[in-house]
Amino acid sequence: MPVPLKNLQQMALYLGVVSGGGCALMYYYMQKTFAKKEYYLSALEKLNSHSEALEILGAPPLRVHNLRLTDRNNHVDQSTAQIKIPVSGTLSAGHLYTTSVRDQINKRWCLQEVILKLNNGQRIPIHESNMAAEDEQEMHMSNTF
């Protein structure tokens, strides 16, 4: 017995709505999972403790927006995490670029660098780890000899 075209159209519409809603819900939950990670939270703590950056943004209130998971600047693997967190205040907005490295011994994320890049092009260094500075200095020293 053939199924009427109207029933097939209704079923296609229903499946489209259900699968689209499921994808949107999965994307939302993935963003929330990122927001709970140690490398994400520690970068925001550094920003919240940097009074100059908060003043330029016009915070409080500091608004942290959802990550764009399709952005190429967001990359996390077993040993490194590089993310771009959209932030805004009442005066300005921008992105918080963070780099973290996972300590294999303690299994903890160590924040290497945090930079606030405002939409007007201004760049504000928030945090640079001593290890990254020592590596850079060591490279500079080896190039001069």
* DSSP state letter for 94: E
Instruction: Please report, as a single letter, which amino acid is at residue 33.
Output: T
% of residues, the chain, pLDDT over 90: 44
pLDDT per position as a tens digit, 52-64: 988 988 878 889 9
pLDDT per position as a tens digit, 31-48: 888 889 999 999 999 999
SS3 41: helix
The pLDDT-based confidence of 104 (bands split at 50, 70, 90) is: confident
pLDDT for res 69: 85
pLDDT of residue 138 exceeding 80, the answer is no
Domain ranges of the chain: 1-34, 38-144
pLDDT for res 132: 46
The tokens describing 57, both together, are 């943004």
- Which residue, chain included where needed, has tokens 């640079």? 128
The tokens describing 46, both together, are 């550094």
- 48-87 residues labelled b (16+ CB within 10 A) or e (exposed): eebeebbebbebeebeeeebeeeeeeeebeeeebbbbbeb
pLDDT for res 63: 92
Nearest-Å Rg of the Cα atoms of the chain is 22
pLDDT for res 22: 93
Q: Which fold has domain 38-144?
A: Nuclear Transport Factor 2; Chain: A, (3.10.450)
The pLDDT-based confidence of 88 (bands split at 50, 70, 90) is: very high
pLDDT of residue 142 exceeding 60, the answer is no
pLDDT for res 123: 92
Q: Read off the pLDDT of each residue in 68-83 and give the average, rounded to a whole number.
A: 89
% of residues, the chain, pLDDT over 70: 89
Torsion of CA 70, 75, 81, 82, to 10 degrees: -70
Instruction: Name the average pLDDT for the chain.
Output: 85
